[in-house]
């Protein structure tokens, strides 16, 4: 299969994780990167050294126009608008939009004649297709869907669980509570809560501007709302809530759902174990090891169900699960680019 030529728009936490994962697997060629940080030496430095995931294993050299990884040139640009990057000059097939800046999607149609697809690493309203592994990856159709979403980290962990439960029974209603590590737009000390996705805006949710290392910060979460791309009207059945917690990586969640039919705990665990055994991609992992959040750093699976805490009371199911909100999520983005490449190869 001919490798896709890929551009990355936004070389932050997710963009660099995608780059690192692909470097280890060599599924596609990253030929261009766009980031508003004007310092190429700093971009190279951040790729080489990472507090969460350690040193990059390759050799990285930079100059004013590019960086070289193991001698292979990657062109660097610093445009605020995604359409101002000459992706077509580098014969880019797929642009990964990982900046998180919503305004980029306002101009995305201008890229239709220049690249095959844009893959967005969040869940905006107007996309042509949303793909969540473990749910609908067989429906991927990049030839007829230009703008494809890989959803968000919370949703790619939740959705396969819902899909698996609803193969045997119907979820009537339930609650999701998520503990999510801090993100880069949060503050070390109290201050205004500045928006990342809409630069210049300040969130009306003032609590999100409070000191992130010092607080548990209650906030809403779009985990269930984003899952509605796969499960229509899911927010009518499952309500969600989250805390931003003073940790740097790995999310944990508690899902409690009431189902229409009684099920035994042993049968439920067996179903999830079977899902892990039969899966094509690294979606599920089941465990009973007595671990904590940091033990799952660098975990490539979308969701790790911690069956030490699995409980069933007649029609009521409780599940506790973990996910590396950067590495696990970015692993599925890499899988999605790989799957897009396969679709184009089969169509020839």
Q: pLDDT (tens digit, 9 = 90+) per residue, 88-145?
A: 999 999 999 999 888 888 889 999 999 999 999 999 988 999 999 999 999 999 999 9
pLDDT at 103: 86
The three state secondary structure string of the chain is: CCCCEEEEECCCHHHHHHHHHHHHHCCCEEEEEECCCCCHHHHHHHHHCCCCCCCCCCCEEECCCEEEECCEEEEEECCCCHHHCCHHHHCCCEEEECCCCHHHHHHHHHHCCCCCEEEECCCCCCCCEECCCCCCHHHCCCCCCCEEECCCHHHHHHHHHHHHHCCCCCEEEEEEEEEEECCCCCECCCCCCECCCCCCCECCCHHHHCECCCCCEEECCCHHHHHCCCCCCHHHCEEEEEEEECCCCCEEEEEEEEECCCCCHHHHHHHHHHHHHHCCCCCEEEECCCCCHHHHCCCCCCEEEECCCCEEECCEEEEEEEECCCHHHHHHHHHHHHHHHHHHHHHC
- Mean local confidence (pLDDT), 160-188: 96
Q: Which residue has the higher pLDDT, 202 or 290?
A: 290
Contact 149, 130 (CB under 8 A): yes
pLDDT at 112: 95
The CATH number given to 5-151+330-347 is 3.40.50.720
CATH label, 154-325, candidates 3.30.360.10, 3.40.718.10, 3.30.497.10, 3.40.50.12370 = 3.30.360.10
Whether pLDDT at 198 is above 70:
no
- Mean local confidence (pLDDT), 178-201: 86
Residues designated catalytic: 153
Residues 99, 14: Cα–Cα separation, whole Å: 8
Report how far apart, in Å, the C-alpha atoms of 83 and of each of 110, 237, 286 are.
7, 39, 42
- Mean local confidence (pLDDT), 75-94: 97
Q: Structural domain boundaries of the chain?
A: 5-151+330-347, 154-325
- Mean local confidence (pLDDT), 3-19: 97
pLDDT at 89: 97
- Mean local confidence (pLDDT), 25-32: 97
Contacting residues for 80 by C-beta, under 8 A, at least 6 apart: 36
pLDDT at 196: 66
pLDDT at 347: 77
Q: Which residue has the higher pLDDT, 185 or 336?
A: 336
The closest of 104, 72, 69, 63 to 87, measured between CA atoms, is 104
Whether pLDDT at 346 is above 90:
no
Q: pLDDT (tens digit, 9 = 90+) per residue, 246-274?
A: 999 999 999 999 999 999 999 999 999 99
The closest of 66, 67, 74, 102 to 6, measured between CA atoms, is 74
The closest of 343, 348, 313 to 142, measured between CA atoms, is 343
275 pLDDT tier (thresholds 50, 70, 90): very high
pLDDT at 1: 66
What are the backbone angles phi and psi of residue 200, rounded to the nearest 5°? 100, -20
Whether pLDDT at 338 is above 80:
yes
What average pLDDT does the chain have? 95
2 pLDDT tier (thresholds 50, 70, 90): confident
- Mean local confidence (pLDDT), 56-83: 96
% of the chain at pLDDT higher than 70: 97
Residues 194, 202: Cα–Cα separation, whole Å: 4
- Mean local confidence (pLDDT), 71-79: 97
């Amino acid at each position: 299969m001919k490798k896709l030529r890929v551009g990355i728009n936004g070389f932050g936490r997710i963009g660099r994780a995608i780059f690192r994962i692909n470097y280890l697997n060599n599924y596609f060629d990253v030929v261009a990167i766009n980031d508003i940080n004007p310092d190429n030496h700093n971009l190279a430095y951040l790729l080489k050294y990472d507090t969460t995931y350690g040193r990059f294993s390759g050799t990285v050299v930079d100059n004013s126009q590019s960086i070289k990884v193991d001698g292979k040139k990657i062109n660097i640009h610093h445009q605020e608008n995604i359409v101002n990057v000459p992706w077509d000059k580098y014969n880019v097939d797929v642009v990964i939009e990982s900046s998180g800046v919503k305004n980029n999607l306002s101009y995305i149609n201008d890229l239709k004649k220049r690249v095959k697809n844009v893959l967005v690493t969040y869940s905006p309203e107007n996309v042509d297709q949303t793909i969540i592994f473990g749910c609908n990856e067989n429906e991927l159709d990049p030839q007829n869907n230009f703008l494809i979403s890989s959803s968000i980290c919370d949703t790619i962990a939740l959705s396969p669980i819902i899909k698996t439960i609803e193969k045997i029974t119907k979820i009537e209603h339930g609650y999701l509570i998520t503990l999510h590590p801090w993100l880069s737009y949060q503050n070390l000390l109290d201050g205004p809560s500045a928006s990342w996705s809409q630069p210049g805006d300040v969130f009306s949710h003032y609590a999100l501007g409070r000191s992130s290392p010092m607080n548990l910060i209650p906030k809403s979460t779009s985990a269930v709302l984003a899952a509605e791309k796969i499960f229509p009207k899911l927010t009518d059945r499952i309500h969600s809530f989250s805390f931003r917690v003073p940790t740097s990586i790995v999310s944990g969640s508690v899902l409690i759902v009431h189902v229409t039919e009684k099920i035994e705990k042993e049968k439920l665990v067996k179903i999830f174990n079977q899902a892990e055994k039969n899966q094509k991609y690294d979606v599920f992992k089941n465990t009973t090891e007595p671990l904590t959040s940091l033990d799952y750093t660098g975990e490539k699976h979308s969701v790790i169900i911690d069956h030490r805490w699995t409980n069933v009371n007649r029609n009521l199911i409780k599940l506790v699960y973990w996910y590396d909100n950067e590495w696990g999520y970015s692993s599925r983005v890499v899988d999605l680019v790989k799957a897009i490449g396969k679709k184009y190869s089969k169509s020839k």
